[in-house]
Chains A and B, each alone.
Chain A
Amino acid sequence: MLGIDDPQIWLAYVSCVLSALGCMVYGALNWKSEDEEQTVKSSTPKAAVQDQ
C-alpha cells in the first residue's frame, strides 16, 4: 500500500494522517456546536413571539 510493503509502516503513515484528520473533525464539531446553539438561542425569542 502507498508503495510501502511493510504493514507496520503504512499503518503508521495512515494513522498519522487519520489522527490529524480526526483532530480536525473533532475541533470543527466543537466549533460548530456553539454556532448552532447561538442560532437556537437568538431564534428562540423571535419564535416565541410568533407563537403568541
Chain B
Amino acid sequence: MAVNTSTLILFVLIYLACTFYVARLGYKKNSQTDGYMLAGRQVHPAIMALSYGAAFISTSAIIGFGGVAASLGMGLLWLVFMNIFFGIFIAFVVFGPRTRRMGLNLGSITYPEFIGKRFQSRFIQGFSGLLIAVFMPLYAASVLIGAGRFLETTLGINYNLALLIFTIIIASYVIKGGLLSVMYVDAMQGTLMLLGMAFLLVFTYSKLGGVVEAHQALTDMASLVPQALVDQGHRGWTAMPAFDSPIWWTMMSTITLGVGIGVLAQPQLAVRFMTVKDDRSLKRAVLVGGPFILMMAGVAYVVGALSNVYFYRTTGMISLQVAGGNTDIIMPEFLNQAMPETFVALFMLSLLAAAMSTAAAQFHTMGTSIGHDFYQQGLMNGKSTGTAVHATKLGIAFTILVSVALAYILPVSIIARATAMFMGLCTSAFLPLYMGALFWKRTTRAGATASLVVGSISSLFWLIFVHAKEAVPLKICLAIFGKETLLTGTWPLVDPILVATPLAFLTLIVVSLMTVPPSAEFLKKAYRLRFEDEEEEMSEPASHKATESTGV
C-alpha cells in the first residue's frame, strides 16, 4: 500500500464524522412513515440523482469493470453510453414520472407495494417482497465482502473486524434515519466519488501527455496484445474486437445485458423515483445523473484501458501481465503506482463511499421488503399498519444479519456471481410487469401474477440447472442429476435474462389478453395526473395567456 496508513485513517475518520452528521440531518427531517420509507417525497432533484447514481455504481463497477477495460479495451464505452441513455435518460424521463405519479395515486411506499397496488394484489406485493428479501442479501453480501477486503488491504485491519465495522456503521444510519438519511449520505458520497474520479481522469491524461497523445500511444500498442487474445479476436485497446469472434461476443453480451435493462427493474433504484415532489424534479435530475454516470463508468473504462500505456512505459509490460492475469487488481495497482499519495487516500475514500452507498440502498430495500411488504402486507394482510416503521426497522436489522452471515459462509465462487444473479432475477421477474404497470393499461392482475411467477421461476431454474457460470459453483444440479448442467452445447452459455425475460413478457401478454381487464375507474385513479403535474401541463398555455393579457 503506497499511502501512509495513519493519513488514511485520519481521512476515514473525517469522512465518517461527515457521514454521521449528514445522516443526522436526514433523520431530523423525517418523522413519519412516508419519511422513513420514501424520504418524505420532497427530495431535491440533485440529491435524488446523486443517490440513484451512487446506489447504482458500486466499488466493483469501478475496480472490476476498469480492469475488464484494461483487458478488452475501450469498446466497453458503448456500455457507458447505453447506461446514460437508458439507465438515466429513459429511466428518469419515461419510467420515473409514471412511477412517481402512480405510486402517489395508489398510496404505495415501496417498490413491491407499488406493483402490488397497481395490480390490486397482495400476493404480488408479498411475493416480490419475499423475492427481494431472499435474494438481495446475496448481492449485499458480495458488496460487504468487497468492502471488507478493501478495508483489510488499505487500513491493515483484520478482515472479519473490517466487515463488522463496515456493516455496523451503515446499519446504524439506515435503521435509525430511514431513506432520507440514506439519500443524504448517498449524495455526499456521490460528490466524493465525483471528485475522486475527476482527479483520476485529469491525473491519468496529464501523466500520459494529454488526451490525444494518450489515446494515440494506446492505439500504437495494438501489436503488443498477447497472441492468445489476438486469436480470440482482440485487435488492440482502441479498436472493436473482430466481428463474431469470442471476445466480440463477450463484449456484446456484457454491453447488452449490462445495459439499463437490469437497471430499469432494480427495486432499490426504482423506489427513488417516488421520493421527489413532481415530474419536473425527475427531468431536472437528469442534469446531474447523466454526467455522474459518465464520470464513474466512463472514467473507469478510459483509465482502465490507458493503464496499459502507463505500465508499458514504466515496466515494459501491459496491465494484464503486471496484474498476473487478474483483472481485479489492475486498477488498485495502477492507482498505487501512478498516483500521488494524497490522491490515493482520497480515491480510497471514494471507493469506500461507493461501497457504502450501494450497501445502504440494499439494506433499506431489503428491510422494507421483508418488514413492510412480506410481513405486514403479505402475511398480516395489512392489519398492522400502525407499526410500519417498527416492522421495517426489524426487517432491516434481520436482513443485515443474514447478509453478514452469508458473507462469512458462502464460497467466493458463488459470491462472485451474486450480483449478476440478483440483477438477472430482477429483470426477468419485475421488468415485464413493471412495464405493463406503467405503459399497458390492458395488463391484468392474472397476467402480472403469472409473469412474476414465470419470470422468477424460469430465471432461477436456468441459473441453477443450465447456466454454467452459476450452475457449476452452486453444485445443486450436480447433486440432483449427477451432471454439472442439464443442457449441453451452447445452452450453458446463454444468460438467464435472455431466456426468462422474453418468457415472462410473453406470459404477461397472453394471460392478460385472456383475462378480464381492470375496471376503467381503477385505471383512471392509477393513471390520474396530480395537481402539480396538471399545473405543469397547463403551464405553457397559461404563461402565453399571461403574456397576452399584459400586452392588452
Contacts and interface: CB of A to CB of B under 8 A. Distances in A.
A15 B81 CA distance: 6
Interface string B278-292: 001001111111110
B379 interface: no
A39 to B, nearest CB: 10
A44 B284 contact: no
A20 B293 contact: yes
B380 interface: no
A14 to B, nearest CB: 9
Interface in A1-26: 2-6, 8-9, 12-13, 15-17, 19-24, 26
Contacts of B239: 5-6, 8-9
B285 A27 contact: yes
State the main secondary structure of chain B at its contact with A: helix
Given A3-B215, A31-B284, A20 B291 contact: yes
Interface stretch (B71-79, B168-176, B178-186): B71-79
Nearest to B547: A40
A22 to B, nearest CB: 7
A30 B213 CA distance: 38
B211 A44 contact: no
A30 B240 contact: no
A37 B293 contact: no
B550 A48 contact: yes
B543 interface: yes
Given A4-B215, A9-B77, A9-B240, A30 B550 contact: no
B84 A6 contact: no
Contact of B214 (A3, A19, A24): A3
B290 A24 contact: yes
A37 B539 contact: yes
Contact of A23 (B45, B88, B238, B543): B88
Contacts of A40: 543, 546-547
B287 A23 contact: yes
Contacts of A15: 77-78, 81
Chain A CB count within 10 A is highest, among B45, B283, B549, B550, for B550
B284 A30 contact: yes
Interface in B81-140: 81, 84-85, 88-89, 93
A37 B278 CA distance: 16
B298 interface: yes
B211 A3 contact: yes
B552 interface: yes
A3 B212 CA distance: 5
A16 B543 CA distance: 36
Contacts of B218: 3
Nearest to A41: B546
Contacts of A28: 287
A20 to B, nearest CB: 4
A: contact size bracket: 20 to 34
A12 B81 contact: yes
Contact of A20 (B84, B238, B283): B84
B215 A8 contact: no
Contacts of A4: 74, 215, 219, 238
A45 to B, nearest CB: 10
A26 B78 CA distance: 21
A47 B552 CA distance: 10
A47 B550 contact: yes
A29 to B, nearest CB: 9
A27 B283 contact: yes
B511 interface: no
B254 interface: no
Nearest to A18: B81
Given A16-B80, A27-B285, A27-B286, A6 B238 contact: yes
Given A3-B213, A51-B552, A19 B84 contact: yes
Contacts of B31: none
Contact of A5 (B85, B213, B219, B549): B219
Chain B CB count within 10 A is highest, among A2, A20, A27, A51, for A27
Interface in B180-227: 211-219
Given A5-B219, A30-B280, A19 B85 contact: yes
A40 B215 CA distance: 49
Given A24-B290, A40-B547, A12 B75 contact: yes
A27 B284 contact: yes
Given A8-B240, A51-B550, 20 more contacts: A3-B218, A6-B240, A9-B238, A12-B74, A17-B294, A19-B85, A20-B84, A20-B294, A20-B298, A23-B84, A23-B88, A27-B45, A27-B288, A28-B287, A30-B280, A30-B283, A37-B539, A40-B546, A48-B549, A48-B550
24 contacts: A3-B216, A3-B219, A5-B219, A9-B77, A12-B80, A13-B77, A19-B85, A20-B290, A21-B290, A22-B290, A23-B287, A26-B93, A27-B287, A27-B288, A30-B280, A30-B283, A30-B284, A30-B287, A33-B539, A37-B543, A40-B547, A44-B546, A48-B550, A51-B552
Interface of B: 45, 73-75, 77-78, 80-81, 84-85, 88-89, 93, 211-219, 235-236, 238-240, 280, 283-291, 293-294, 298, 302, 539, 543, 546-547, 549-550, 552
